[in-house]
Structures are given as structure tokens and as C-alpha cells.
Amino acid sequence: MTGLWLAIAGAGFAAFLGGIGSAIGVGTAGRAAAGVLSEDPNKFGKLFLLVALPGTQGFYGFIGALFVMINTRMFSTPLFNMTWVQGLQYFMAALPVGIAGLVSGIHQGKVCAAGVEMGAKRPEATMKAVIYGAMVETYAILGLLTTLFLLLKLK
């Protein structure tokens, strides 16, 4: 059962780390947006995307965890006979999405907070700030793809 527990731990880390990155990132951008909205509540629609954007890393972590659970048959008859080496492979395969989600979520929140501040001064440029946030998103997506490709190799 050691192998299965390692795989489950990998799934947990993928979801947990991505969720932490998203929570910190959304919190950072949300604080900046709350300050702007206290001055002008009409900017809510323009700022919403900048606040929500760092939340995607949590979803990517969940998707990575879900694929680990699917590959180890957690929803039917789990692979109880998995060796610890196989479990370690699943654990390591889950780390890219978790770590990339943690780091990129935090930094995307900072970039989006700067975009919110820019939008306070120049509302017409708010959507341009989304592009900078999306550039950070690229690395979260690469982490997810790396995890998925590694898991495909383990099938």
C-alpha cells in the first residue's frame, strides 16, 4: 500500500499547492481591487477578471490531482499492489502542476494587483493589464501539461 499512499499524497500536493497559490494570488489582487472599488464601485466589471485570473491555478492543481486519481483507479478498484517506486513516480508526476501553481498563482496575483492599480488611474488600459497576468498564466499551464504528459507515460 506504500505506493498507493505516495500516489495519493502526490494528488493531494497538486491540489493543495495550486490552491494555496490561487488563494494568495486572488487575495492580493482582491485587496487592490477593494481599494479601487471603495473610490469608484463602477469599476467592478473591469477589475473582476484581474481578480479572478490567479484563481485558475487551483483548478489546474485539481485537474492534475483528478488525473492521478483516475490513473490509480481511485474511483473503482484502486491499485493496491502498486510498488513504492510506482507510487513515487505518480508523486513526482503530480509535483509540476502543484509547484508551478503555487509560484505562478502568487506572482500572478502581484501582477494583477499592479494591473488593478493601473486601472484605477487609466480605466481604458485595464484590459491590457490582463495580458500581463496571462503571461504568468502560461507557466501554470506548462506545469499542468507537464503533469499530464508524465501521467500519460505512467499508464
Give the pLDDT confidence of 40-61 residue by residue, as tens digits. Answer: 999 898 899 999 999 999 999 9
31 CA to centre of own chain: 19
User: How much is the pTM?
Assistant: 0.91
Residue 93 Cα distances to 54, 83, 98, 155, angstroms: 23, 15, 10, 12
Amino acid making up residue 29: A
Q: How confident is the model at residue 65 (pLDDT cuts 50, 70, 90)?
A: very high
Select from 3.40.390.10, 3.40.640.10, 1.20.120.610, 1.10.730.10 the CATH code of 2-154. 1.20.120.610
